[in-house]
Amino acid sequence: MIHYTCDCCKKTLEADDLRYVVKMEVYAAIDPAAADDLDDDRDHLAEIQDILQRAGDVVDPQIGSDVYDELRFDLCPECRKKFVKNPLGREGAKQFDFSNN
């Protein structure tokens, strides 16, 4: 029997409990203007695209976690609500109450 745990709060989720799966892809952004500055005739964007497409099929030694990373998390309903409201985990901006002087 497979056991699931919320990756955020560590709550054990039973087989019949509602759970959510969050999948994330994090990859290096290439500035096309920077690629145009190079003197050689290689199409670097096409090369990176080819590497990223192969990443789903096989673990490619050319790809490090600083270039491409794929993440997966299981969340309980409460943690899903929190995640959707604040996916980057930023602190809420503090509100200041200034007088009308």
Q: How does DSSP assign 22-51, residue by residue? A: EEEEEE----HHHHHT-SS---HHHHHHHH
Residue 95 has pLDDT above 70, yes or no: no
Task: Tally the domains of the chain.
Answer: 1
* Interstrand relation of 68-75 and 12-13 (parallel, antiparallel or unpaired): unpaired
- Report pLDDT for 59: 54
- Report pLDDT for 54: 72
In a domain, 95, yes or no: no
In a domain, 11, yes or no: yes
Sign of the C-alpha dihedral computed for residues 82, 88, 91 and 93 taken in this order: negative
Sign of the C-alpha dihedral computed for residues 28, 33, 37 and 40 taken in this order: positive
Residue 18 has pLDDT above 80, yes or no: yes
In a domain, 94, yes or no: no
* Interstrand relation of 68-75 and 20-27 (parallel, antiparallel or unpaired): antiparallel
More confident residue, 54 or 72: 72
